[in-house]
Amino acid sequence: MKNNEQIKQILDSERFKKELYDLQIQLHSFPELSNDEFKTSGFLQKILRNEGYKILKTSGTGFIAIMECRQSGKTIGLRAELDALPISESDNNLLFPRNSISKKPGVTHSCGHDAHMAILVCVLKIISKNSENMKGHIIGIFEEGEENASGIKPMIETLKKFEIDAIYGNHCWNELSVGNYVISPGAIMAAYGVFDITITGKGGHGSRPDRANSPIDTGVQIINVLKCLWNKKYINDNEVTLSITKFNSGNTLNVIPGNCNIGGTIRFFNKADGQNAMSDIQETFKGICKINDCKASYNVFDANSNPVVNDKDLSEIVQSNIANIFPQSKVIQKKWFASETFSFYNQLAPTMFTLFRIKNSEIGSGAEHHHPDFFIDPDSMVYGVGAMLSFVRDFLNS
C-alpha cells in the first residue's frame, strides 16, 4: 500500500470486490433502527477483533476499533454509521428486482449506512494486513443513532481520550453517476433547525365558525406567509430552505378544534442565516397569532447545529489521490442540503467528508435517500474504499 499501483491492485481484485459486496448485502439484509443496532454492532466488533483491533464501546451500541501501527505517528479517525430507517423497502429499485432486500419488515438501509459500514470495515482489514509498513494510529468510528442524532455525544466523549489529528468520513449520494465525487473545501452539508409549534384558538361547533376561533385558519395563514417570505428572501440569496413537514388538527368532521400543531425544518450553511430564518419563523407565528387572537406554544425550537465543514488541506489530499487512482472520475464542488452528525467531529480535529456517487440508470440506482426505492450500485463502493484508503496512507505519511 506504499503507492497508488498497490491500491489499484487491491481495488481491482475480484476477491476483494466480492468481500466488499457480500458484506454490504449481509448488513442490508438485517437492518436495525437507531439505538437498537446490537446485532450489527456485535457482528462488526467480532470481525475487527479477529483483525487485531482493540474494541472500546460507547455507552450504547456505538464503538471504536483501534489499531496501533508498528511505527509511531499521527492518529486518524475513520467513521461510519450503524443505523437504518423505519421505511418499508420496495421489492424493486427504479428498474429491476433487488439483489438483496431487508428481511426486517418496515426497516431498511435507505440512506447508505450499510455501504458506509462495509467500506470502513474493508479499509480497516486492509490496514491491519499492512500495519507493519505503516505508521500512526487508526481509529475506526462506528456511530450509533446517526439518524436521530442520539449517538454522537457519547461518541465524542469517548474520542476525547485520544489526540486525533484528522477525522475522515464518506457518504454515498444519489445525484450524478457512479465513479464521480463531490469534494468541497468549507461547508459541504447543511446545518439544520427544527420547530414544533402548537397554536391554540377556540373550538366550537362546525356549523358556527363565527362563534369559534379556528387555529386551522391561523395555521394556514402562517404557512402561506412563510412560503411568500422564503420565495422573496431566502431561496435565491442565502441558501436557506424551509419545509413544513407536519400539520395536525382535529379528528372529526363537525367540530372546529381548539388546537393546531405545525412542525418543520430549515437547512442552512451559514450560522447567521440560520438564526435569521428561525427569528423570521418565530415572528411570523407571533404576529399572525396575535392578529387572530390565538396563542403559539413552542414545543421544539432549535437551530444550534453546524454544517459539515471540510478542511482545505485535507480536501486537497483527497482530490489529488482521486486524480491518480481514478483518472476517469470527475470531481466537482457542490453543497448538499441534507444534514449529518459528522459535523460534530470538527470539535475534535480537522474533518474531511467525501461524497461518492451511486447513480446508475442502467441498473436502477439513483432514487432519493430515505425513499423505498433507494438502491446502491455495488461498484460505487469501490470508489469509497479507494478515496478512504489513499487518504489514510497519505495523511499518516505526510
Residues 34 and 166 in one domain: yes
Would you state the cell numbers that stand for residue 78, as one nine-digit string?
475513520
Rounded to the nearest 10 degrees, the angle between the axes of helix 113-130 and helix 38-50 is 20
Residues 288 and 224 in one domain: yes
- Cell 447508505 sits on residue: 112
Instruction: Look at strands 181-182 and 166-177 and give their pairing.
Output: unpaired
Rounded to the nearest 10 degrees, the angle between the axes of helix 14-29 and helix 4-12 is 60
- pLDDT recorded at residue 309: 97
Annotated binding residues for Mn(2+): 111, 113, 147, 171, 370
Largest CA distance in the chain: 81
Contact criterion met (CB below 8 Å) for 19 and 121:
no
3-state DSSP of the chain: CCCHHHHHHHHHCHHHHHHHHHHHHHHHHCCCCCCCCHHHHHHHHHHHHHCCCEEEECCCCCEEEEEECCEEEEEEEEEEECCCECCCCCCECCCCECCCCCCCCCCECCCCHHHHHHHHHHHHHHHHHHHHHCEEEEEEEEECCCCCCCCHHHHHHHHCCCCCCEEEEEEEEEEEECCCEECCCEEEECEEEEEEEEEECECEECCCHHHCECHHHHHHHHHHHHHHHHHHHCCCCCCCEEEEEEEECCCCCCEECCEEEEEEEEEECCHHHHHHHHHHHHHHHHHHHHHCCCEEEEEEEECCCCCEEECHHHHHHHHHHHHHHCCCCCEECCCECCCCHHHHHHHCCCEEEEEEEEEECCCCECCCCCCCCCCCCCCHHHHHHHHHHHHHHHHHHC
Domain count within the chain: 2
- The CA distance from 88 to 102, in Å, is 9
- pLDDT recorded at residue 397: 86
The β-bridge partners of 298 are 197
Would you state the cell numbers that stand for residue 61, as one nine-digit string?
451500541
- The CA distance from 55 to 44, in Å, is 10
How much is the pTM?
0.92
Residues 173 and 29 in one domain: yes
Annotated binding residues: 111, 113, 147, 171, 370
Distance of CA 133 to the CA centre of its chain: 33
- Which domain-ending residue is among 281, 302, 323? 302
Residues 45 and 133 in one domain: yes
Residues 58 and 75 in one domain: yes
Residues 205 and 77 in one domain: no
**Contacts of 212 by beta carbon, 8 Å cutoff, 6+ apart:** 201, 202, 203, 204, 205, 256
Would you state the cell numbers that stand for residue 313, as one nine-digit string?
488541506
**Contacts of 106 by beta carbon, 8 Å cutoff, 6+ apart:** 86, 87, 88
221: domain CATH number is: 3.30.70.360
- Which domain-ending residue is among 302, 323, 346? 302
- The CA distance from 276 to 71, in Å, is 50
130: domain CATH number is: 3.40.630.10
Contact criterion met (CB below 8 Å) for 156 and 93:
no
What tens-digit pLDDT sequence spans the chain (398 residues)? 667 888 999 999 999 999 999 999 999 999 999 999 999 999 999 999 999 999 999 989 999 999 998 788 999 999 999 999 999 999 999 999 998 899 999 999 999 999 999 999 999 999 999 888 888 999 999 999 999 999 999 999 999 999 999 999 999 999 888 889 999 999 999 999 999 999 999 999 999 999 999 999 999 999 999 999 998 888 766 689 999 999 999 999 999 999 999 999 999 999 999 999 999 999 999 999 999 999 999 999 999 899 999 999 999 999 999 999 999 999 999 999 999 999 999 999 999 999 999 999 999 999 999 999 999 999 999 999 999 999 999 999 87
Number of CB atoms found within 10 A of residue 70's CB: 11
Contact criterion met (CB below 8 Å) for 31 and 104:
yes
The residue segments making up the domain with residue 110 are 4-188+307-397
Indicate the residue type of 262: I
Residues 319 and 223 in one domain: no
Contact criterion met (CB below 8 Å) for 1 and 126:
yes
Q: Which of 151, 194, 158 is nearest to 342 (CA)?
A: 151
- Which domain-ending residue is among 254, 287, 302? 302
Residues 56 and 75 in one domain: yes
Residues 269 and 363 in one domain: no
- The CA distance from 216 to 199, in Å, is 8
Indicate the residue type of 95: L
Residues 87 and 166 in one domain: yes
- pLDDT recorded at residue 339: 95
Residues 232 and 205 in one domain: yes
- pLDDT recorded at residue 236: 67
Residues 374 and 242 in one domain: no
Contact criterion met (CB below 8 Å) for 73 and 109:
no
